[in-house]
Structure 1
Amino acid sequence: MGLVERIKNLCNERKITFAEVERKVGISNGQIRRWDTSSPKIENVEKVANYFDVSTDYLLGRTDKRRYYDLTEKDELSIQRELKKAIKGEDVDNAFAAFDGRILDELNEEDRELLIASWENTLRLTKRMAKQKFTPNKYRD
């Protein structure tokens, strides 16, 4: 997928046009469409990437991760492992360390599912925040 196609998809997600993006970021009218046949200035690509809160690497098709702190497949597997440990009540090095796994047995099915979903979201959020905070600048997009 090329640069213009990625921008088009991002525009469709926000229900806006190329012209609106060009006005908001301060590039000339029709500029984005011309990127199909000519090379854009890196400053303009950066402006568009910043507008959509994605990395320039994502726009250029070098990666499918929109931001450097997005979770990878490896991160997702790690989250699932930690969640399984928490559900079993095993001693883990996170916020669930003091949790007694027997409490899940006392909950009705709906409450149990809600609690597990909440834990999973908490793990995702904390992992993403840690990536934002602790990723060295040289590895950020």
Structure 2
Amino acid sequence: MSIVDKVRELCGTKKITIAELERSLGLGAGTVSRWDTRIPGIDKVQKVADYFQVSTDYLLGRTETPYYALTEKDEPSIQADLERLIEDLDGLKYSKETEEFSEETKELLIASLEQAVRIAKMEAKRKYTPKKYRGES
């Protein structure tokens, strides 16, 4: 995937056009599109990376994941958080109708909690990781 494709994809996630991005960053019209045929200046690449809060390595294709993507190192803390949440749910063994949760309901609830913990972890990494640790070149 080219740098222009990645920028286009990131623009889609923010629901903006490339032209809007260029205006926001003070880049000339068509600057990003020309990156398909010309090598962009690092200052411009850095502006785009900062805007989307991703690493320059991600934009340049050196890594396939933004700096805030989950890694194997995150798994132990995700599992620990999930276990704590499940333990806290032991007090909620019964639904409103005072029937015990079915095994299927328990599994669905745990899967939902795990997904929520993963999303929260990614958002925390995206929001709170200092620039010097974002894997930028």
Q: Is the 8 A contact 2:81 2:117 kept in 1?
A: no
1:15 to 1:125, Cα distance in 2 relative to 1, 3 A: closer
1:114 pairs with 2:101: no
Aligned-residue RMSD, C-alpha? 3.7
Report what 2:97 is aligned to.
none
Measure the CA separation in 1 of the matches of 2:130 and 2:16. 32
Q: What's the offset of the Cα at 1:121? A: 2.7
Moved more, 17-26 or 7-16: 7-16
Identity fraction in percent: 34
Q: What secondary structure does 1:49 align onto?
A: helix
Q: Is the 8 A contact 2:6 2:59 kept in 1?
A: yes
Q: What's the offset of the Cα at 1:122? A: 3.5
**Structure 2 gap ranges (5+):** 95-99
1:136 to 1:79, Cα distance in 2 relative to 1, 3 A: same
1:71 pairs with 2:70: yes
1:5 to 1:121, Cα distance in 2 relative to 1, 3 A: same
Q: Is the 8 A contact 1:79 1:124 kept in 2?
A: no
Q: Is the 8 A contact 1:3 1:36 kept in 2?
A: yes
Matches within 5 A, 1:124-135: 125=120, 129=124
TM-score (norm 1): 0.65
1:115 to 1:45, Cα distance in 2 relative to 1, 3 A: same
**Structure 1 gap ranges (5+):** 87-95
Report what 2:18 is aligned to.
18
1:87-140 deviations in Å (ceiling 9; x for gaps): xxxxxxxxx29x488657655147634366336534663586479768793564
Q: Is the 8 A contact 2:68 2:123 kept in 1?
A: yes
Q: What secondary structure does 2:36 align onto?
A: coil
TM-score (norm 2): 0.66
Q: Is the 8 A contact 1:19 1:29 kept in 2?
A: yes
Aligned length: 129
Q: Is the 8 A contact 2:53 2:126 kept in 1?
A: no
Measure the CA separation in 2 of the matches of 1:77 and 1:3. 30
1:11-50 deviations in Å (ceiling 9; x for gaps): 2333322211110111111111111111111111111112
